Every structure is written in C-alpha cells, then in structure tokens.
C-alpha cells in the first residue's frame, strides 16, 4: 500500500480539522478546488475500485433522494466509491478502499471543504447514471464535498449525536504494549504518540472505533476488534474500511513526523489468543 495523494498542509492539522459534515450551503465549490479533487480521485491505486465525481445538475431535490441514515442537506457534489462486484467480500480490497477514500476526504478537508463518509443506506440509482456505472460495478460509498453550512440542520445534529461523533475511546482501550491488557501510555509511545493519536481521531462507521494497536519491538500491529452494529450485511466491509482509514492516518502522520516505516503482513498473535481481534497489518518501523 502506498500513499498517492500529496498534501500541502501538515496532516496532523488536517486530521484534527476533519469531522463529518451533514449540512451544506447549496452553492458550488470553486473550480480550482474542483480541479484539485478531480485529479486526486483520478489516481487509481488498483483496478478493484474507482472513485467518481458526481455533480447535481439541478438545484433541488437530490439531498432528499439520496436517503442515507444521516440526512445530508444541501450537498451538490459527491465523491462516489465504486467497487468491482467480484471484489465484494474481499478483505484486502476493503482495507485498501478505506485507505484511499480517506485520503480523498483529507484532501477535501485540506481545501476547507466538508465531507462525510456514507456507507449505510443510500439510493444508489440516483448516482448510477451520473457516473456511468458498469454492470460489473457497485456503488459502495459516497461522500458529499461542499461548503459546510453554519446552520446545523436538526436531523444532522441528532445523527452526529446518535453516532457519538465527538467522542473517542481513551488510549488505554485502543493501544497496547506487547499484548492486550497492557496499555501503552502516550509517554511510552514517545515519538510515535502523535501518530497513534491520529488513529484515535479517525472516523469510523457509527463511530465504532474498531482499531486496536499492539506495539512490539519491531513495530505496531494493527487489529480489528469485532463490531456488532447493524449495517445490512456491509458490516465487514465497513470495518475493513475503518482499518484502512486508521492505516492511512498512521502512515501519513509518521511521514509528517519524519518516521520511516512500511506496512508488512506478519501475523503476531496466534489464532485463538484473542478471538475478538482480527489481524490486519503491521507497521514495521525503520531504523
């Protein structure tokens, strides 16, 4: 996995700025910003999925018809995540999807635009025509990109409250030293503490925060904790998206902090050691 989008602002600042925006001003974004984002979505990381640009032609209607659980108001422009049907159910594709889609979200945030991952229920047909959806493709994710409205819509307020958007688990529930049950403190994490904090601030489906990280001598091992929210069979996909997001945050933060490393697959715990944790990837720290 490799980061493909270039960021101008410190990623630590951008990650802290990002939050889900569900109410937008019904005005188009500037052509400069549109161009930058269109370029970012056009860099394909692989051929299992693609990102498309969707723009509402008429001024009315779309917001009501997308029908997602967190009602989105006023948005005119969307980034649409399209997965090849034969990649559905694939773990690596889902992780990589999260990793790449989040970088688009962060690029939009850097440009001062609002975003919101939407992987729940939405009316895919509204978007299918506008993005030339092929028979072997499926729309799996959306994010509006637009100018946040000062006024928060009531339903949007309720949605972010229901999703506990502003809260995150404390460090001791997420990060461990050598094994689960032995929390890794910020002090002990040392120069890696800001990168782990960026994992903690990551968005996740219904704010479930499934990321667990165990530090060992040679690096940081990322696991997904079992989640049990109801997501119409998409739960596995969304959880792996969440893991890809956390990996993007960690990697980009390390890069910003001047800490070398790379992702490797090197299972640490034995099967059955922690039945509620699934191994994802390890960040092998450089010298």
Ligand X SMILES: Cc1cc2nc3c(=O)[nH]c(=O)nc-3n(C[C@H](O)[C@H](O)[C@H](O)COP(=O)(O)O)c2cc1C
Using the minimum distance from each CB to ligand X, give the nearer residue, 116 or 195.
116
Q: What SS3 state is found at 49?
A: strand
Does position 109 bind ligand X by CB under 6 A? no
**Part of the chain binding ligand X (CB under 6 A), chosen from 34-42, 128-136, 178-186, 203-211:** 203-211
Neighbours of 125 (CB within 10 A): 10
Using the minimum distance from each CB to ligand X, give the nearer residue, 23 or 241.
241
Complete edge-to-edge strand list for the sheet that includes strand 211-216? 175-177, 211-216, 219-225, 277-285, 261-264
Does position 152 bind ligand X by CB under 6 A? no
Angle at 9 between CA 198 and CA 283, to 5 degrees: 35
**Part of the chain binding ligand X (CB under 6 A), chosen from 1-9, 67-75, 132-140, 270-278:** 67-75
Does position 241 bind ligand X by CB under 6 A? yes
Does position 69 bind ligand X by CB under 6 A? yes
Does position 210 bind ligand X by CB under 6 A? no
**CB 101 → ligand X: shortest distance, Å?**
8
Burial class (CB within 10 angstroms; exposed 0-12, middle 13-18, buried 19+) of 1: middle
Does position 144 bind ligand X by CB under 6 A? no
Residues in contact with ligand X, counted by CB under 6 A, come to a total of: 22
| Matching residue, tokens 């990322």 | 222
Closest CA to 146 of 257, 247, 58, 63: 63
Taking CB under 6 A as the criterion, the residue among 29, 238, 252, 253 binding ligand X is 238
Does position 120 bind ligand X by CB under 6 A? yes
Rounded Cα–Cα distance for residues 287 and 270 (Å): 27
Our measurement of the distance from residue 85's CA atom to the centroid of its chain's CA atoms, rounded to an integer in Å, reads 21
Taking CB under 6 A as the criterion, the residue among 5, 66, 80, 163 binding ligand X is 163
Using the minimum distance from each CB to ligand X, give the nearer residue, 237 or 283.
237
Does position 280 bind ligand X by CB under 6 A? no
Does position 165 bind ligand X by CB under 6 A? yes
Contact between 265 and 282 under an 8 Å Cβ cutoff? The reply is yes
Does position 123 bind ligand X by CB under 6 A? no
Using the minimum distance from each CB to ligand X, give the nearer residue, 71 or 180.
71
Does position 242 bind ligand X by CB under 6 A? yes
**CB 209 → ligand X: shortest distance, Å?**
9
Rounded Cα–Cα distance for residues 270 and 71 (Å): 43
Contact between 252 and 239 under an 8 Å Cβ cutoff? The reply is no
Secondary structure in 3-state letters for 139-207: EEEEEECECECCCCCHHHHHHHHHCCCCCCCCHHHCEEECCCCCECCHHHHHHHHHHHHHHHCCCCHHH
User: The tokens of 135 are what?
Assistant: 């028979």
Neighbours of 62 (CB within 10 A): 23
Taking CB under 6 A as the criterion, the residue among 56, 204, 227, 282 binding ligand X is 204
Does position 99 bind ligand X by CB under 6 A? no
Does position 70 bind ligand X by CB under 6 A? yes
**Part of the chain binding ligand X (CB under 6 A), chosen from 42-50, 79-87, 110-118, 216-224:** 110-118
Residues that bind ligand X (CB under 6 A): 19-20, 68-70, 116-120, 159, 163, 165, 203-207, 238, 241-242, 245
């Amino acid at each position: 996995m490799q980061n493909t989008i270039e960021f101008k602002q410190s990623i630590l600042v951008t990650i802290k700025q990002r939050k889900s925006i569900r109410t937008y001003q019904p005005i188009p974004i500037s052509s400069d910003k549109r161009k930058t984002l269109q370029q970012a979505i056009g860099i394909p990381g692989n051929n299992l999925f693609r990102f498309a640009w969707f723009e509402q032609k008429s001024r009315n209607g779309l917001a009501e018809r997308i029908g997602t659980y967190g009602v989105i108001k006023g948005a005119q422009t969307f980034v649409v995540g399209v997965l090849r049907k034969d990649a559905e159910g694939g773990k690596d594709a889902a992780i990589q999807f999260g990793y790449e889609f989040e970088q688009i979200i962060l690029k939009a945030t850097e440009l001062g635009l609002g975003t919101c991952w939407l992987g729940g229920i939405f009316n895919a047909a509204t978007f299918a025509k506008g993005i030339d959806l092929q028979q072997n493709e499926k729309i799996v994710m959306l994010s509006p990109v637009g100018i946040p409205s000062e006024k928060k819509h009531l339903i949007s307020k309720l949605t972010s409250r229901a999703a506990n958007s502003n809260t995150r688990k404390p460090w001791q529930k997420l990060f461990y030293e050598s094994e689960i049950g032995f929390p890794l403190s910020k002090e002990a994490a040392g120069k890696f503490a800001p990168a782990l904090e960026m994992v903690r601030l990551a968005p996740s489906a219904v704010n479930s925060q499934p990321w667990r990280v165990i530090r060992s001598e040679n690096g940081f091992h990322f696991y997904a904790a079992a989640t049990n929210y109801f997501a119409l069979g998409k739960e596995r996909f969304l959880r792996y998206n969440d893991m890809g997001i956390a990996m993007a945050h960690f990697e980009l933060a390390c890069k910003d902090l001047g800490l070398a490393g790379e992702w490797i697959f090197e299972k640490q715990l034995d099967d059955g050691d922690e039945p509620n944790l699934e191994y994802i990837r390890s960040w092998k720290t450089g010298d």
